[in-house]
Homo-oligomer: A and B are copies of this chain.
Amino acid sequence: MSIAPAIPHVIDRATCTALDAADPLAGHRELFDLPEGVVYLDGNSLGALPRATAARVQRVIAEEWGTGLIRSWNDAGWFTKPIDLGDRIAPLIGAAAGEVVLGDSTSGSLFQVAVAAARLRPERRVIVSELGNFPTDLYVLESVQELVGEPGRPLERRLIGGDGIPGPTLADVLDDDVAVVVLTHVNYRTGRMYDMNEVTRQVQAAGAIMVWDLCHSVGAVPVDLNGAGADFAIGCTYKYLNGGPGSPSFIWAAERHHPEARPAITAWHGHAKPFDFDVEYAPAPGITRFRVGTPQLLSVAALEASLDIWRDVDLELLREKSLRLTELFISLVDSRLAPWGIEVVTPRQSARRGSQVALRAGGADGYAVMQALIERGVIGDFRAPDLMRFGFTPLYVSHADVWDAVATLEDILSTEVWRDSRFARRGAVT
């Protein structure tokens, strides 16, 4: 239960610092090493560095690797880390112990899971996703369509619209041919959030398998996969979970699917008896069969340090603060940036919003505005063709940060400094 006050009608910076003073999660900011003078609103792309991470990784390097050497596979528990850390992610997504395991990259894990999902509906030949999905999900599904289908006859793809993109609805495309539906719970561009319960119900009522991509959800919004009765999910740990650049993805499979699930890649870490060195593959029981090869243990170590923080986080307070931050941001944008035609693209209805807000820059060049913001220490990012994205990580973003971000944005717009040639487009990276 939150003890923080609601956002008052008239807001100034003092209001924001008062909200911070009453914020029960404010103390968590001290657990992160944020650079001086930076307002970091890109934790939805790469989470900030937890203070405990460096020492933890150092210990793994010096003691477990340097001194323990090969013995650490057993003595330091390296072999079971992907399962052990999966169990620590489980409570964040409404999963049970033994249902979650670490994977390689998020794309690799989606491949692993989507093939398993499609194989549960061998008579059906359609995979559904959405035009506005993060593109790698669509690219990965192209592989799945081709490999699960017959040579020269890949599975069919149907992409729904929504979230501002024209296209058919989910109801339009669901029929007896749909094997799998893969949707991203919180949209990477707009922050729009699906109703997981309702969509899962709709998909399963059509006889299809529901796969959720939780990249922009885990650690940001409440997720209850078992509550929704979903089938499979994958997610990343380097955004709101702060596992570090490229930290391992995770895979969730509902326990009821474990006995029959046949993931794409069968490899030795998913084998029932990996050290018997049998010639034939035999799947391990449970979620372990989704494992592929040797985990990248330094990245795993950083993730472990970041997961320590999550032991103490009240997920209800987290969601309350997240909504307070995004609501505050939206109301400040509305009240102060109206003269420049700045448009809030993210749903205003809180139940449909993740922990990020996207703005369309009106008459300004959103790319250049974002570069000018970054130069002044307000770090968000830009998504082509025209969205400025701001992520609000409740563990380390303060209400005063939100104030300062909007004030800086206002100054950049009013002075038109963004027109300076040094802010013109070059490349961009997620």
Which A residues lie at the B interface, using CB under 8 A? Answer: 33, 35, 38, 40, 42, 45-46, 48-49, 53-54, 57-58, 60-62, 64-67, 69-74, 78-79, 104-108, 111, 115, 122, 131, 135-136, 138-140, 142-143, 147-148, 150-151, 159, 236, 238, 244-249, 264-269, 271, 275-281, 292-302, 374, 379, 381, 383-384, 427-430
Question: Which residues from B are CB-within-8-Å of A246?
Answer: 294-298, 300
Contact A35 B69 (CB under 8 A): yes
| Cβ–Cβ contact A384 & B265, under 8 A | no
| Contact status B46-A61, CB under 8 Å | no
Q: Taking CB as reference atom, which chain B residue is nearest A270?
A: B139
The CA of A143 and the CA of B143, in the complex, are separated in Å by 14
Number of copies of chain A assembled together: 2
CB atoms of B294 and A105 under 8 A apart: yes
Contact A265 B107 (CB under 8 A): yes
In the complex the two chains form, what is the Cα distance from A239 to B279 in whole Å? 23
Instruction: Using known A-B contacts A65-B245, A245-B78, determine if residue A136 contacts B49 with beta carbons closer than 8 Å.
Output: no
CA–CA, A379 to B78, complex, Å?
A: 18
- Beyond A35-B67, A54-B61, A66-B33, is A108–B277 a contact (Cβ under 8 Å)? no
Contact (Cβ within 8 A) B136 A268: yes
Do the beta carbons of B147 and A245 come within 8 Å of each other? no
**Cα distance A418–B298 when bound, in Å?**
35
A139 touching B267, Cβ below 8 Å = yes
The residue on B at minimum CB distance from A263 is B143
Q: In this complex, what residue of B is CB-closest to A139?
A: B281
CA distance A151 to B72 in the complex (A): 41
Most buried by B among A267, A280, A302, A430: A267
Contact B293 A104 (CB under 8 A): yes
Q: Check A139 against B248 for contact (C-beta < 8 Å).
A: no
Please state if B266 and A143 are interface contacts (CB–CB under 8 Å): yes
Provide 26 A-B residue pairs closer than 8 Å at the C-beta atoms, listed in order of the A residue.
A42-B70, A49-B61, A57-B57, A58-B58, A65-B245, A71-B374, A73-B429, A74-B427, A106-B294, A107-B267, A108-B292, A108-B293, A115-B147, A136-B267, A136-B293, A138-B281, A143-B267, A159-B279, A246-B295, A247-B298, A275-B428, A276-B384, A277-B383, A277-B384, A296-B299, A298-B298
Q: For the complex, what is the distance from the CA of A138 to the CA of B276, rounded to whole Å?
A: 14
Q: Are A54 and B58 in contact (CB under 8 A)?
A: yes
Residues on B with C-beta less than 8 A from A248 are: 296
A104 interface neighbour in B65, B105, B138, Cβ under 8 Å: B105
Considering only CB atoms, which chain B residue lies closest to A40 in the complex? B69
Which listed residue (B74, B107, B276) contacts A292, Cβ 8 A? B107
By a CB distance below 8 angstroms, the chain B residues around A108 are 104, 108, 265, 267, 292-293
Closest CB pairs A-B (n = 8): A105-B293, A107-B293, A107-B267, A136-B268, A104-B104, A73-B429, A296-B299, A49-B66
A33 to chain B, nearest CB (A): 5
Q: Report chain B residues within 8 Å CB of A62.
A: 33, 49, 54
A54–B430 Cα distance when bound, in Å, is 27
Q: Are A266 and B70 in contact (CB under 8 A)?
A: no
